[in-house]
Structure 1
Amino acid sequence: MRKAGQPYPFDELQRPLIMAHRGDPVHAPENTLPAFESAILRGADALEADVHWTRDGVIVVIHDEVVDRVSDGHGRVRDMSWSELRRLDFGYRFTLDGRTFPYRGRGIRMLTLRELLTRFPEARFNIDIKPKDPPSLAQFVREVVECRAERRVFAASFHHKVLNRLRRIYPQLATGASPCEAMAALARLHAGVGLGRVKYKALQVPPRVRGIPWLTERWLERAHRAGLAVHVWTVNDPADMERLFDLGVDGIVTDDPGQGVAVRARWAARQPREGGRTKWIS
């Protein structure tokens, strides 16, 4: 589907991909080592994670710009040093029932990007760069390369300027479309107009707009003809997963990767086989 010679970390993996959103936040504190370990154990194909920079320039794995929701601390990541963040309990607020906190006091600490990439040397990653103006994208690239992960990392961001700068610094790194690039692609593909040459490898889109499912089989076919993968976020309902698999998406991002793997297995068992294997395996 993609042009020869273009790096894409998810080649050779079965599709549709199950991409673990912040690890496995249904069963463990999001963006922590237990969450990523759980996602791998439950069969996720790729790990989705988010990064910010500390005050002293360490790239750390966290979704929010503040630590309040996921730890026993308070404040913005960019205002705190790495040593300050390491003292916080990132299992403190995780609960399954609203009453008990099974990871509280168990030494769950924040991860650095380096720790994440080296802890899972075979894993594929979708790394979402969260800041609008990161202190150093060159540092991000350097750490990815030094961890020998440049062919295992797919970079994403909601900020167009961030992705453009990243592409200029290291064009070999695969990136997703920014929101403005995605919107332009959506309109052109719906109109049946070609995209021409683009700088991204995948469109990562929500399954609904204003509550209405908008993805169609024809639109997906056009995206695929343009050489693009389509990943859909964040999908947690089994019926939605199956509907998207039927349409032909290349992957879903989910909070419950174990459920996603199970739904995909049931769905795949019903698919026709071509050449001795199910047609959705790449």
Structure 2
Amino acid sequence: MTNIFGHRGAAGHYPENTMISFMAAYEAGADGIELDVQMTKDGELVVIHDETIDRTTTGAGYVHTYTYKELSRFDASYTFSQYKGKATVPTLIEVLEWAKQKNIIVNVELKNGIIHYPGLEEKVIHLIEKLNMNKQVIISSFNHYSLVECKKISNNIEIAILYMEGLYQPWEYAKRLGADGIHPHFYAATREIITNSINNDVAIRTFTVNDDKLIQQLLNNQCSAIITDFPEKAVKLRDMLSRKA
């Protein structure tokens, strides 16, 4: 069965990468959530997509120039004014502790392609292991050097390669890096790549899939997972297909 992951929670209807959004994805029946991790000035792991806070919060500037206490004062309701005053930038530990209770899979994307956060891999993995969530968390990144570093630190957590397009035989590339999965943009998730990846025991989870027809196509092609801004819609489409089967 194809799993449904809520992209930054349920970002189509809720402020992305907030507890409100993650809870909504869970309530919609998502099997997992996808989130992004940056690091504050005082070394706190925080869940926010951009290297700056300008787009999604009421503040401005780079994440790494703020302490977590300073960062937590900003509103993170983004364009969803109905949640003003109710959404803040969460810490990774806050999200993981909640996810552990809900038994929902967490895809942690390391956002270290533009800014180098010293020790990010080690900090994230230490937290995952401390919470005994090795089998519940997937670490992904566009920075493949970082993924190799993760594998050196721990061989007990799944890693997955993020990429946009044009990667030749990505399942073979994944094996070379010691990765357990690939997370391509949906343009790069052809039927052939999906089939070959799964046949080679490499999970394939596509992002960010919001179109109904494309969701149905990927479900029919038995993609390992779909990462979407609208998990409630994807879950309904999956349920409809399973009833027809």
Q: Which residue matches 2:20? A: 34
Question: Structure 1-normalised TM-score?
Answer: 0.80
Kindly provide the CA deviation profile for residues 82-110 of structure 1, in whole angstroms up to 9, marking residues without a partner as x.
1110111111x323xxxxx101123x211
Pick the aligned partner of 1:89 from 75, 82, 88: 75
1:103 and 2:86 aligned: no
Q: Which runs of 5 or more residues in structure 2 are unaligned?
A: none
1:229 and 2:206 aligned: no
Q: Which residue matches 1:153? A: 137
TM-aligned CA deviation for residue 178 of structure 1: 4.9
Q: Which residue matches 1:215? A: 190
The 1:258/1:72 distance shift into structure 2, 3 A limit, reads: same
Q: How does 1:266-281 map to 2 (within 5 A)?
A: 266-271=240-245
Kindly provide the CA deviation profile for residues 206-260 of structure 1, in whole angstroms up to 9, marking residues without a partner as x.
2215xxxx602x4322222211111111100111111111122111000000001
Q: How does 1:46-61 map to 2 (within 5 A)?
A: 46-61=32-47
1:18 and 2:8 aligned: no
Check conservation: 1:55, 1:77, Cα contact below 8 A. Answer: yes
Kindly provide the CA deviation profile for residues 3-33 of structure 1, in whole angstroms up to 9, marking residues without a partner as x.
xxxxxxxxxxxx2010100001122111001
Instruction: Give aligned-pair identity as a percent.
Output: 27
Within 2, Cα distance between the matches of 1:262 and 1:253? 14
Within 2, Cα distance between the matches of 1:178 and 1:65? 18
The 1:181/1:139 distance shift into structure 2, 3 A limit, reads: farther
Check conservation: 1:32, 1:90, Cα contact below 8 A. Answer: yes
Check conservation: 1:177, 1:200, Cα contact below 8 A. Answer: yes
TM-aligned CA deviation for residue 52 of structure 1: 0.2
Larger Rg: 1
- Secondary structure (helix, strand or coil) at the match of 1:102 reads helix
Alignment RMSD = 2.1
Check conservation: 1:129, 1:155, Cα contact below 8 A. Answer: yes
Q: Which residue matches 2:96? A: 117
- Secondary structure (helix, strand or coil) at the match of 2:24 reads helix
- Secondary structure (helix, strand or coil) at the match of 1:208 reads helix
Q: How many residue pairs end up in the alignment?
A: 240
Q: Which residue matches 1:204? A: 183
Query: AA paired with 1:134?
Result: Y
TM-aligned CA deviation for residue 181 of structure 1: 11
Pick the aligned partner of 1:128 from 97, 109, 117: 109
The 1:204/1:182 distance shift into structure 2, 3 A limit, reads: farther
Q: Which runs of 5 or more residues in structure 1 are unaligned?
A: 1-14, 96-100, 272-282
Pick the aligned partner of 1:170 from 140, 154, 163: 154
Question: Structure 2-normalised TM-score?
Answer: 0.91
Within 2, Cα distance between the matches of 1:181 and 1:234? 13
Within 2, Cα distance between the matches of 1:196 and 1:143? 25
1:241 and 2:215 aligned: yes
Check conservation: 1:126, 1:153, Cα contact below 8 A. Answer: yes
The 1:198/1:144 distance shift into structure 2, 3 A limit, reads: same
Query: AA paired with 1:199?
Result: G
